[in-house]
Structure 1
Amino acid sequence: MRFRSAFLAASLASAFAAPAAHAAQDYQKFDAEIDRLMVAGKIPGVAVAVIDGGKVRHVVARGVRNEKGDPLTTDTIMYAASLTKLTFAYYVLMLVDDGKIDLDKSIAEYLPKPLPAYPKYADLGVDERWKTITLRRLLTHSSGLADQRFYDPENKFRFNLEPGARYAYSNEGVNLAQFVIEESLGLKVGDEMNRRIFQPLGMTRSSMIWRDDFKANLADGMHEDGKWEEHDDRSSVKAAGSLDTTISDMAKLAAALVSGWGLSAKTRAELDKASFPIVSESQFPPFLIKDSPANAKIGLAAGIGVVVYDGPQGHAFFKGGHNDITDNHLGCVEKGKRCVVLLSNSGVGQRLYPTLAKMVLGDLGTPWAWEYSRQLPIAP
Structure 2
Amino acid sequence: MRPFALMLVLLTAAPIALATPPTTLPDPAAVDAEMARMMAKTHAQGLALAVIDHGKVVQVHAAGKRNAAGDPLTTDTVMYGASLTKMAFAYMVMQLVDEGVLDLDRPIGEYLQRPLPDYPAEKQYAPWPDLRDDPRWRRLTARMLLSHRSGFANFAFLEPDGKLRLHFDPGTRYAYSGEGLILLQFVLERGLGLKVGAEMQRRVFDRFGMTRTSMLWRPDFAGNLADGWTQDGTSEPHDERSRVRAAGSMDTTITDIARFAAGCMRGEGLSAKGRAELVHAQWPITTASQFPTLQDELAPAQRRRDLAAGLGVVVFQGPQGRGFYKGGHDDAVGNTLVCVARRQRCVVVLGNDVRAEAAFPALVRFVLGETGAPWSWEYGGKTFVE
2:194 is the counterpart of 1:187:
yes
- CA deviation digits over 1:223-278, x for unaligned, max 9? 11111010001000000000000000000000011111100001111010000110
Deviation at 1:165, TM superposition (A): 2.4
Q: Which residue of 2 aligns with 1:155?
A: 162
1:127, distance to aligned residue in structure 2 (A): 1.2
What do residues 307-365 of structure 1 show as CA deviations (whole Å, max 9, x unaligned)?
00111010100000001100000010011100000000112221111111011111011
Task: Give 4+ residue runs of structure 1 displaced > 3 Å after superposition.
Answer: 292-297
Partners of 1:235 and 1:103 in 2: CA distance: 29
Partner of 1:118: 119
| Pairing of 1:1-380 with structure 2 (within 5 A) | 17-18=23-24, 26-120=27-121, 121-291=128-298, 293=301, 295-298=303-306, 300-379=307-386
CA shift, 1:297, in A, is 3.2
Q: 2:227·2:238 contact (CA, 8 Å) conserved in 1?
A: yes
Contact 2:182/2:246, CA 8 A, preserved across alignment: yes
Q: Deviations over 1:142-185 (max 9, x none)?
A: 11012111111221111122212211111111100100011122
* C-alpha displacement of 1:58: 0.1
- Cα separation, 1, equivalents of 2:303 and 2:319: 14
CA distance, structure 1, for counterparts of residue 194 and residue 171 of structure 2: 28
How many Å apart are 1:375 and its aligned residue?
A: 4.2
Q: Secondary structure at the match of 1:342?
A: strand
Partners of 1:247 and 1:211 lie apart in 2 by 17
Alignment size in residue pairs? 360
Aligned-partner Cα distance in 2 for 1:377–1:296 = 21
Is the CA contact (8 Å cut-off) linking 1:16 and 1:359 kept in structure 2? no
How far apart are the structure 1 equivalents of 2:365 and 2:237? 31
Any conservation in 2 of the 1:369–1:376 contact (CA below 8 Å)? no
Q: Distance in 2 between matches of 1:363 and 1:249?
A: 25
Cα drift, residue 295 of structure 1: 4.3
**Structure 1 residue 15, shift from structure 2 partner:** 12
Deviation at 1:125, TM superposition (A): 1.1
Measure the CA separation in 1 of the matches of 2:70 and 2:21. Answer: 33
Q: Distance in 2 between matches of 1:51 and 1:226?
A: 31
Instruction: Determine if contact 2:361/2:384 at 8 Å carries over to the other structure.
Output: no
Question: Could you tell me whether the CA contact under 8 Å between 1:282 and 1:372 is conserved in 2?
Answer: yes
**In 2, are the aligned partners of 1:350 and 1:376 still within 8 Å (CA)?**
no
What SS class does the counterpart of residue 200 from structure 1 fall into?
coil
The amino acid of 1:349's aligned partner reads A
- Distance (whole Å) between structure 1 residues aligned to residue 342 and residue 196 of structure 2: 32
Paired with 1:124 and 1:130, the residues of 2 have a C-alpha distance of 7
Secondary structure of 1:238 counterpart? coil
**Residues of 2 paired with 1:16 and 1:376: CA distance?**
27
Q: Deviations over 1:94-143 (max 9, x none)?
A: 00011101111100111111000111211111311010000011111111
| Cα pair 2:41 2:385 within 8 Å, conserved | no
- Partner letter of residue 377 of structure 1? F
Q: How large is the Cα RMSD of the aligned pairs?
A: 1.5
1:52 positional shift: 0.3
Give the CA deviation at 1:61: 0.4
Taking structure 2 as the reference length, the TM-score comes to: 0.91
Does the CA-based 8 Å contact 2:52-2:59 persist in structure 1? yes
**Counterpart-to-counterpart distance in 2, 1:129 and 1:255:** 38
User: Which 5+ residue runs of structure 2 have no aligned equivalent?
Assistant: 1-19, 122-127
Separation of aligned partners in 2, 1:201 and 1:239: 19
Residue matched to 2:11: none
- Are 1:327 and 1:346, in contact at CA under 8 Å, matched by a contact in 2? yes
State the distance in 2 between where 1:183 and 1:85 align. 19
Contact 1:66 1:219 in 2 (8 A): yes
Give yes or no for contact 1:89–1:304 (8 Å, CA) kept in 2.
yes
Residue 187 of structure 1 aligns with an amino acid whose one-letter code is L
Please state how far the C-alpha of 1:45 moved relative to its aligned partner: 0.5
- Bigger drift between 367-376 and 319-328 goes to 367-376
